[in-house]
Structure 1
Amino acid sequence: MSGNQSQSIPNTTGIARRLFRYALTAKATFIAALLMLAIGVAAELAGPFIAKTMIDEHVLGIEQPYYETDSPEGAALYQGTYYKRADRLSAEENSGAEVRLLQSGTSFYFINEPVERAEGSRSFQDGIMSITYGDSTQSYPAVKLSTSELFSFYKPELPGVYKLVGLFMIAIFISMLAVFTRTFWMQSAANRVIQKLRTDVYAHIQRLPVHYFDNLPAGKVVSRVTNDTEAVKDLFVAVLSNFASGIVYITGVYIALFLLDVRLGLISLFIIPMLLIWIVLYRKFATRYNVVIRSRLSEINAIINESIQGMPIIRVFRRQKATREEFEELNRDYMAHQNKMLNLNSLTTHNLVNVLRNIALVVILWYFGSASLSSTGIISIGVLYAFVDLMGRMFQPITGMVNQLAALDSSIVSAKRAFELMDEPGEAVTDGSMPRYQGDVEFKDVSFAYKKDYVLKNISFQAAKGQTVALVGHTGSGKSSIINLLFRFYDPQKGSITIDGKPVTEIPKQWLRQHMGIVLQDPYLFTGTIASNVSLGDPRISREQVDQALRAVGADRLLSHLPLGFDEPVIEKGSTLSAGQRQLISFARALAFDPAILILDEATANIDTETEAIIQQALEVLKQGRTTFIIAHRLSTIRNADQILVLHRGEIVEQGSHDKLMAQGGKYFNMYQLQQGSTEAAGGSIQREREALPVPAIMKKAAVKL
C-alpha cells in the first residue's frame, strides 16, 4: 500500500515563498484588505483610549482643584457658589479660593481649602479627612456630598462625556465597516489566488507525460487538484486573515500599551516569545500528522475512484468484502491521525491562551492595581482600565491565531503536495501549428525500453502515405509500444523515427499529434452529446462537419432510433450506448479531425458480426487518404493491409502482405489458421508451442482455444 511510502516533512520556507508569489497575483486586493485591517484595528483600539479619557478626565477628574468663579458657564453650583475646575478656567476669568473634592471609600467629600497632596491612603471620621502618604499624615475639615450635590460637579462634564460617547460610536462603526471590507477583499483575493493555483495545477497535468499517470492513480491526481488546493484556500482565507489581523492587532496593542505606560508595555512583552515557542512546538508535531492525513485522504479518493470504475468486476468476482476491508483500513488510519490532531489541538488551543491571559492579568493587577486602588498613584484608574481592556483585546487575535495553527499546517502540507505535482517535468508547450504532413513514416533501427529491459529491438520499417500497416503478435510483443513511440508518449533509446523524412524529436509534440488520430478498442466518450463527442468542442469543426462525419461512417444507421439523434445526451464513458455505437462515434471523431496518420487499436475486437460489416465500411471511409496503423488480433480484418508486421518479443519476425505471409507458412500463417479454426493445419504448431511454454501459459492457451 502507498501508505507505507516515506513521507517527507515539507520545506516551509520554500513553500511560503511560492505561495507568496501566488499571493502577488492579487496583491492590490490584499494590500487594500490589509489597509482596511489597519484602519479597523486603529478604530477598535481607540475604544480603550476613549474610555481612559472618560474615566480620568471626566469621572475621576473632579478630584482636581476647583476655584470659585463668577461665571456660571461650565461651572458647578454648590451652596450658592459657582466652582470651576482649574483646567477649565480661561486666562481671562477671575478665580477665587481653591477647594477640593476627594473620594474616600464610595463617597465624595468637599474640602473648603487647598490640599497639599491628594495622593495616599484616605479616611474620613468625625468631619475630618485624613490623607496618609508615607510617614506623613495631613487632616482637613470635610463635608460629605449628597448625590444631587455630587451630580452638580459632574454636570459640567456631561458635554465632554457625550462627545466621547459619540467618538466611541463612530469608532465602532468604522471598525465594523473595516472588518466587512477587509473580509470581503481578503476572501475575494484568496479565491482569485486559488483559481490561479488550481488552473496552473490542472494545466500542468495536461503537460505531464503519459507515463506519469501509469504510476499515480487518478483519484490521487483528483485529490491534489481539488482537496489540496481547497486546503490552500483556507490558508489565504482563514489563516492569512487571522494571522495578518492578529499581527497588526498585537502590534497596535503594544503601541497602545507603551503609550499608556512604558512599564506596562515592557512587562507585557513576555507574551511574544511564549507565543513563538508555542507555534514552533505545535508545528513540530502537527506537520507529522498532517502529512499522513493528506496522504491517506488522497489514497481514500483513489480507492473510491477505482472501486466505482471497477464496480462490475468487484460484483462479479465477489470482492466487495475485500475492497471494503481495504477501504476501512485506510479510513481507520486516517481517523487515528485525525484523532491525534484533535488531541494536539485540544491541548494547545484557546485553553492555554486563557491560562496565559489570566497569568498576565493577575501579575499586572496584583502589582499595579492594588497600588492604584490604594491611591498610591503608580498608575491611574483610567490607565489600569485601558490596560485590562487592551490585554483582553490582544488575546482575542492570539486565540484566533492559535486556533488557525491546524489549518496553517494542513495548508502547508497540501501546498507541498500541489507543488510536488507541478514540479514534475512536463512536456514543453509550443504555440502555433504546422501544415498537415503527408504521413510517410519510417522506423530505423529503433530500440526502446520502459525501464531496463528492451521491449522493442532494432525495429525497422517504412509506411508510405496512404498505406495501411497492420501490427500483429501475441500480448507483450511490442505493438502498443510502437504506437506510443509514434505519438511520442515516449522517445526511443536507440534509432530514429521520421515523418516525411523529418525526425519526430525535432517536431513539437503538440504539432506532431495535431495531425494524428486514434480509435481505441474501448473508445472513451465524454459527458455531453453525440455531436460534442465528435467535435470535442473544437471551434474549427462545424456542426455540418460533425453530421457529415457521422453519416460517412454509417453512424446514422445505428443511431437513427435515438429520440434526439446526434444531439442525444451521452453520460460519462457512453455506458448507455452499445460497443458498436461508441466505436462509430469514435470513427466519426477521427474523420472530423482529418488526421494524416490514423491508429486503430483493436478497433473491431469487441464488435459483433452484424455490426462488424458497418464498421468495416466505416474503416474503408476512414482510411482513405491517410496512413493507417492497425493493431489487430482478428486477422480477418487486415487481409487488405498493404503490409503486415508480425512482432514477437519486441522484434519483427515477419513482414509483408497477407498473401505473401500466408505463402511463407510461418508464424502469421499459423496464427491465421488458428483463428480460422483449422486444427488440422495448426495442430502441429500448437503442439510445438505447448512444448515450449511453461505450464501456466499452456493453461492460458488451452483457455483461449476453448
Structure 2
Amino acid sequence: MKPSTEKRLFQYALSRKKLIIIGLICLIIAVGLELTGPFIAKRVIDHHIVGIQTTWLEVEANSDTDTVDYKDSFFKREDRLKESDAILNEYTLVQSENNYYLVEGTISRHRSIEVIDDGRLKISYDQSTELIAGEQLSAGDLYTFFGPEVHPIILLLSLYLGLILIAAVFQYTKTYLLQISANKIIQKMRNDVFHHIEALPMQYFVNRPAGKIVARVTNDTEAIKELYVKVLETFVNGFIYMTGIFVALFLLNTTLASICLLLIPLLFVWMKLYKKYAGNYNYVIRTTNTDINGSINESIQGMPIIQAFRRTKETQQEFEVLNNRHFSYQKKLIVLNALTSFNLVNAIRGVAFVAFIWFFGSSSLTGESVITAGVLYAFVDYLTRLFEPITQIVNQLPQLEQARVAGARVFELLDEEDEEIHPIDSTTIEGDVKFENVGFAYTSNNYILHNISFHIKPGETAAFVGHIGSGKSSIMNLLFRFYDPQKGAIKIDGKDTSSLSKQQVRQNIGIVLQDPFIFTGTVLSNITLNDPTISREKAIASLKAVGADQFIEKLPKQYDETVGENGSEFSTGQRQLLSFARALAFDPSILILDEATANIDTETEGQIQEAMKVLAKGRTMLVIAHRLSTIQHADQIIVLERGNIIEKGTHHELLQLYGNYYQMFKMQQGKKSAAL
C-alpha cells in the first residue's frame, strides 16, 4: 500500500530536516521572546504605574532611592520597606476618577471611592460606607510619588525592546532557513519528476498530450512550492505561537485558558470539513487547468491548420468549455473560502471575548475576585494575539488544499512504472539483426505485426516499404525497444534483446526521423547533444561528411550559431542533414532511417542520398521509405502489408516478381513522368 500524499510530502520535507529543525528552534526562541511582552507590560502596569495606589508608610529618614520626599516628610511603599526603616505613620494613595488622594490609614482594595466635597471621600465596601478626609495631590505631587518607578520602567521597557530586537534576528534566521529549505525541497522534487519522465516508457507519452505532462512539472510543483514556502511556515509558526500563548494564558488564569482550549478541536473539525469539500473542488480545478494547458499547446502547434481550415470558432468553443468548467469550480471554491477565512475567525473571536467579559465581569460582581489592570491588559493582549495565528492558518487552508491535490497529481506521475536504468556496457556490437516470428500489438489482441521474420547481416542495408499502417514503424519501435513484442524474439548479434537492458540496446542504435527534432542551443550542441565523449572536431567532421558545412559556414557564427526552437530558421532538408550528422557523430553500429527522405525536395534529395551513403559505411542500416528511388541500392527490400511480409528481395528481384513492389514502383515512376 502506497503512503498517503501528506506522508510523502512530509518525507520530502525530511530531505532538508537539519535546516528545518534549526529554523524551528529559531522560531521557538523568537516566539518565546515575543510572548514576554505582555508579562513585562503587566509588571509595568501593576507594579509601577497602578502599583503606586497602595499603602505608603511615613518613615524617619531618606534611606534609599525608593524613599519619597513629600512636604518635608519621607514616604515609602509598604512592599519596599526595610527592617531598618522606622515607621511613623500609615497612608494610602487612592484614585477617584482623574484625581489622586493621600488618605491617612489603610484602605482595602475591595472598595469604591466617591468624592463628596473639599477632599472628603466616601469609601463604600460590600455592606458599609465611611467618610474620611483625603489630601488631593497635584500633578507635581503625584510625580513625586511616581519618581522611584521611572528607573524600573525604563529598565523593563529597554529589556522588552532588546528582546524584540533579538526575536527579530531569530525570526529573520527562521524565515531564511525555512525559505531556503522549501526551495531546495522543490528543486529536488522537480529533478525527481523530470528524471522520472525521462525514464518513462514511450507508451506514456503516446497517450498523453505534452501540455498535460508539462503542467505536472511546472504548475503542480509550483503549487507544492507554496506549501513548503508559505503554508508550512504559517502552520508551524501558528501552532508554536498558539502553544506559547496557551502556556502564558494558563499562567495568568487557568479557568479561562481551559475555555480557550475549545478553539483547538473547533479549528481541527473545520480543517477536516474544508479538506473534504475544497479537496474535490481543487482536484477538478487542477485537472481542468491541465486540460487547458494541453488544449493551448495543441492549438499553438496546430495554428496553421486551424486558420487554414477556418476552425478558429470551433477551437474557441472547445476552449470555452474547459474555461467555463474551471470558472465554475473556482467560484465554488471562492464561496467556500469566503465563508471560512475572516467570517469564521471573527465569529470565534467574538464568542471568545464574550466569554472573557462574562467570566471576569461575573467574578467582579460577586466579589469573588478583582483582577488587576495589568492582568486584564495581558489577557486581552494574549487573546488578541491568539487569533492572529488562527486567522493565518485558516487563510492558508485554500493553499494547503491546492498543494495537497497538486502533490497527489505529481506523485501519481512518479508512481508510473518506469524503465529500469542499467549501467551501459561499453562492448560494441557488430550489427547482426534478426526477427524470429515476431508478433506485436499496441493493445491486447489487436496485433499490428504477424509472425515477422527476417535477417539483416552486419553492414547490410535493409529497406521496409508498404502502405500506411502496414507495420514499418512498429518494427523500428520494437528494435529500439520502445516496446517489446508479445510473441517471438528479436536478436542482435545472436542475443535476445529482452535479455539486454534497453540502455545496452539503444547505445549502439542511431535513428533519423522523418521530421528531425532540433533542440534550442547551437549547431554544435545539436550534434553532440552535450555528450562529453564527442569532441568539437568530431562533430564538425560529421557535419562536413554529410555536406551540412555548405550552409553552416555561411552563418554569422558558423558552427556556434544559435539555433531557435526546433530549428525553424533552417529548411527541412537542412534540418535533416543536421540529423544525419548527429547520427554519424554518435557512430552507432545500427542506424534506423524512419522515412528520412519523405519531406525532402528533389534538389535536396541528391545531398541526402550522398549523406546516406556516408552513413551506411561500416554499419547495419534499416530504412523506412516511401520514395522507392532512395532504396534501390539496399541489400534487401522487405514489403509489408497489414503486418505481414508479402515480398522480400533486392530491387531487381522484386521487380521481376511483378507483385506489390512492382506496382508501387511503376506508380511512382508514372507520377514522376507526369510531373516532368
User: TM class, shorter-chain normalised?
Assistant: over 0.9
Gaps of 5+ in 2: none
After the TM superposition, which of the residue ranges 443-452 and 325-334 deviates more from structure 2?
Answer: 325-334
CA displacement at 1:132 relative to structure 2: 3.8
Task: Report what 1:35 is aligned to.
Answer: 25
Cα contact 1:56–1:382 (8 A) shared by 2: yes
Is 1:247 aligned to residue 206 of structure 2? Answer: no
**CA distance in 2 between partners of 1:144 and 1:472 (Å):** 116
Deviation at 1:130, TM superposition (A): 4.3
The answer as to whether partners of 1:120 and 1:375 remain within 8 angstroms in 2 is no
Which segments of 5 or more consecutive residues in structure 1 lack a partner in the other structure? 1-10, 681-703
2:577 counterpart (565, 572, 584): 584
Q: Quick one: distance in 1 between partners of 2:620 and 2:110?
A: 105
Q: Is the 8 A contact 1:468 1:630 kept in 2?
A: yes
Distance 2:461 2:527 in 1: 23
More deviation, 576-585/60-69: 60-69
- What residue is the counterpart of 2:555 in the other structure? 562
CA drift of 1:98 comes to 2.4
In 1, Cα distance between equivalents of 2:426 and 2:532: 18
What is aligned with 2:50? 60
- Match of 2:250, SS state, is helix
Counterpart mapping for 1:292-311 below 5 A: 292-311=284-303
Q: Which residue number in structure 2 is paired with residue 541 of structure 1?
A: 534
Partner residue in 2 for 1:121: 112
Residue 428 of structure 1 aligns with an amino acid whose one-letter code is E
Which position in structure 2 is the counterpart of 1:192?
Answer: 184
Quote the offset at 1:629 in angstroms.
0.4
User: Residues 214-248 of structure 1: CA distance to partner in whole angstroms, max 9, x if unpaired?
Assistant: 11110011111001000000001110111111000
1:415 and 2:373 matched = no
- 1:641-660 equivalences under 5 Å are 641-660=634-653
Partners of 1:590 and 1:166 in 2: CA distance: 75
1:300-449 matches, cutoff 5 A: 300-369=292-361, 377-449=369-441
Distance in 1, matches of 2:514 and 2:586, equals 19
SS of the residue aligned with 1:33? Answer: helix
- 1:526 Cα deviation after fit: 0.7
Count how many residue pairs are aligned between Structure 1 and Structure 2: 672
C-alpha distance in 1 between matches for 2:356 and 2:132? 34
Letter in 2 for 1:67: L
Instruction: Provide the rounded CA distance (Å) in 1 between the counterparts of 2:83 and 2:180.
Output: 57
2:264 to 272, 278, 282: 272
* Alpha-carbon contact 1:372-1:380 (below 8 Å) kept: no
Q: CA deviation at 1:152?
A: 1.3
Aligned residue for 1:283? Answer: 275
- The answer to whether the aligner puts 1:221 opposite 2:187 as a matched pair is no
2: CA distance, partners of 1:15 / 1:29: 23
Give 2:98's aligned residue: 106
Alpha-carbon distance, 1:427 to partner: 0.5
Does structure 1 residue 97 correspond to structure 2 residue 89? yes
In the alignment, what sits opposite 1:3?
none
Q: 1:554 Cα shift?
A: 1.1
Give the SS at the match of 2:370. coil
Q: Is the 8 A contact 1:525 1:574 kept in 2?
A: yes
CA distance in 2, matches of 1:232, 1:142: 70
Aligned residue among 611, 614, 617 for 2:604: 611
Deviations along 1:96-141, one digit per CA (max 9) or x if unpaired, are 32221122333322121233x3213333434554444433545544
Give the aligned partner of residue 15 of structure 1: 5
Which stretch of the first structure deviates more once superposed, 54-63 or 357-366? 357-366
Separation (CA, whole Å) in 1 of partners of 2:662 and 2:563: 42
The 1-side partners of 2:540 and 2:399 are apart by: 52
Task: Return the alpha-carbon distance in structure 1 between the equivalents of residues 235 and 596 of structure 2.
Answer: 59
CA distance, structure 2, for counterparts of residue 358 and residue 53 of structure 1: 28
Distance 1:250 1:679 in 2: 84
Q: How far apart, in 1, do the equivalents of 2:123 and 2:459 lie? A: 116
How far did residue 372 of structure 1 move?
Answer: 5.4
CA distance in 2, matches of 1:477, 1:26: 54
Per the alignment, in what secondary structure is the counterpart of residue 56 of structure 1?
helix
Contact 1:111 1:142 in 2 (8 A): yes
| Secondary structure of 1:176's aligned partner | helix
Query: What secondary structure is seen at the aligned counterpart in 2 of 1:460?
Result: strand
Aligned equivalents of 1:679 and 1:261: distance in 2? 100
Aligned residue for 1:647, secondary structure, equals: strand
Distance 1:559 1:171 in 2: 68
Shift of 1:57: 0.6
- CA shift for structure 1 position 67: 1.7
- For the 8 Å contact 1:553–1:588, the answer to whether it is kept is yes
Q: In the alignment, which of 10, 34, 59 is matched to residue 44 of structure 1?
A: 34
Residue aligned with 1:125, SS: strand
Does structure 2 retain, via aligned residues, the 8 Å contact 1:109–1:142?
yes
Deviates more, 1:252-261 or 1:59-68: 59-68
| TM-score, normalised via structure 2 length | 0.96
Partners of 1:122 and 1:364 lie apart in 2 by: 26
| In 1: Cα distance, 2:498 partner to 2:210 partner | 29
Letter in 1 for 2:79: D
1:469-508 equivalences under 5 Å are 469-508=462-501
Q: Which amino acid aligns with 1:119?
A: H
Please tell me the residue identity of whatever aligns with 2:21: I
Q: Name the CA shift for 1:377/1:144 in 2 (closer, same or farther; >3 Å).
A: farther
Aligned in 2, Cα 1:559/1:518: closer, same or farther, shift over 3 Å? same
Give, as a single letter, the amino acid of the residue that structure 2 aligns with 1:299.
D
CA contact (8 A) 1:294 1:414 kept: yes
- Classify the secondary structure of the residue corresponding to 2:143: helix
Given the superposition, is the C-alpha separation of residues 222 and 375 from structure 1 closer, same or farther in structure 2, using an over 3 Å criterion? same
Using the aligned pairs only, state the percent identity: 50
**In the alignment, is the contact (CA less than 8 A) between 1:63 and 1:102 conserved in 2?**
yes
